[in-house]
Amino acid sequence: MPTTNVRATTKPPRSAIENGAAARAQATAASGVTPAPKPTAPRGAAKARVAKPGAAKAKAGAAKGGAVAKGGVVAKGGVVAKGGAPPKAGAAAKAGAARHARMAPPVETLDRLRAIHPDAHCELDHDGPFQLLVATVLSAQTTDVNVNKATPRLFARFPDAATLARAEPQEVEPLVSTLGFFRQKAKSIVGLSRRLVEDFDGEVPRRLDDLVTLPGVGRKTANVVLGVVWNTPEGVVVDTHVQRISQRLGWTTNTDPVKIEQDLMRLIPKDQWDPTSHLLIFHGRRVCFARKPNCEGCGLNTVCPSAFDAENVGRKPKRDRTGASRREA
């Protein structure tokens, strides 16, 4: 009788892990203690993502840089790129350099501005150096129109340094309360009046180095007084209008007022420093607005390198929904 081959049915040997698991099960059964069930994630719960190497470092770097762009893209220097895409490196700098290369000729441009604004002048109402000094200090972070509404009452009660020096800031505050930062401004004009009385016999000094020692008086305020009263400024007054228009004309590629002033002082003859500020301020208030500048009606549109595209030049940084700044070219 032929023999039939029977396939072995022996189970393969258990692994060390299985042996260990069996031993633990026997020990648990012998002890009579039921182990607590292992916690399980709810059905459908998303698995935790494992961060890629360097992700934490990149996140920290983004926070340090300042801003996350729309769509999660971090733009260079913390600036949010429009549409979430990082801006092309150096695009704004290249545009500024191109305008600078095609800058409006300074002397010819100033001549044109004189023809456009023959009455350009300081628009702060004042009677004498002291009142101009006080009005200029009050004009910080507000408009000349607002200052001119406040100063008649102020100067009616305190017409000179001697009378204002005897006052307390609390007495002055109600007279300038319509202006921003009025408490600090009241303190400054009382303080500068006392210094004028104590150190300069109540008169406004005619040197920039002396003026900037007075409370609330910086280089810009000092040059306003020196230029308007004595036509002896030691620089060009750079306010928001001067900054914007000098960039649009290609006279500077800088955004810092101190550097802009240095650029303008190199380009413009010294005897034109004071009228330059008034001409640019007049033009900024009447023609070359920050938003929707009137390029069509501007008498400089044949020499201005930003003509018909000026709205995209020299603007202050905007705020987007993420709270980060976005600067235009």
Tokens of 247: 């960039």
| Overall average pLDDT of the 27-50 stretch | 51
- What distance in Å separates the CA atoms of residue 115 and residue 1, rounded to the nearest whole number? 130
Q: Domains, the chain, ranges and CATH?
A: 103-121+237-326 (1.10.1670.10), 129-230 (1.10.340.30)
Residue 122 has pLDDT above 90, yes or no: yes
Any idea which of 48-62, 99-113, 142-156, 276-290 has the lowest mean pLDDT? 48-62
Per residue in 151-196, pLDDT tens?
Answer: 999 999 999 999 999 999 999 999 999 999 999 999 999 999 999 9
CA-atom Rg of the chain in angstroms:
36
- What distance in Å separates the CA atoms of residue 228 and residue 66, rounded to the nearest whole number? 42
AA letter at 258: V
DSSP-derived letter for residue 103 is: P
pLDDT (0 to 100) of residue 59? 46
Q: What is the average pLDDT value for the chain, to the nearest integer?
A: 81
Residues 6+ apart with CB under 8 A from 21: none
| Overall average pLDDT of the 24-46 stretch | 53
pLDDT (0 to 100) of residue 40? 53
User: 91 or 296: whose pLDDT is higher?
Assistant: 296
pLDDT (0 to 100) of residue 79? 41
Residue 150 has pLDDT above 70, yes or no: yes
First to last CA, the chain: 101
Please report which confidence band the pLDDT of residue 16 belongs to, taking 50, 70 and 90 as the band edges.
low
pLDDT (0 to 100) of residue 43? 53
CA angle 200/205/210 to nearest 5° reads: 90
- Chain centroid, CA 230 distance in Å: 33
User: 103 or 66: whose pLDDT is higher?
Assistant: 103
Nearest to 215 by CA among 196, 232, 228: 196
Residue 88 has pLDDT above 50, yes or no: yes
Per residue in 209-234, pLDDT tens?
Answer: 999 999 999 999 999 999 999 999 99
- What distance in Å separates the CA atoms of residue 91 and residue 15, rounded to the nearest whole number? 66
Please report which confidence band the pLDDT of residue 314 belongs to, taking 50, 70 and 90 as the band edges.
confident
pTM of the model: 0.69
| Overall average pLDDT of the 263-267 stretch | 98
Residue 117 has pLDDT above 80, yes or no: yes
| Overall average pLDDT of the 26-38 stretch | 55
Residue 92 has pLDDT above 70, yes or no: yes
Per residue in 274-312, pLDDT tens?
Answer: 999 999 999 999 999 999 999 999 999 999 999 999 998
At how many degrees (to 10) do helices 240-248 and 273-286 cross? 90
pLDDT (0 to 100) of residue 84? 42
Pairing of strands 325-326, 318-319: antiparallel
- Tell me the catalytic residues: 220, 239
DSSP-derived letter for residue 75 is: P
DSSP H or E segment with residue 227: helix 219-230
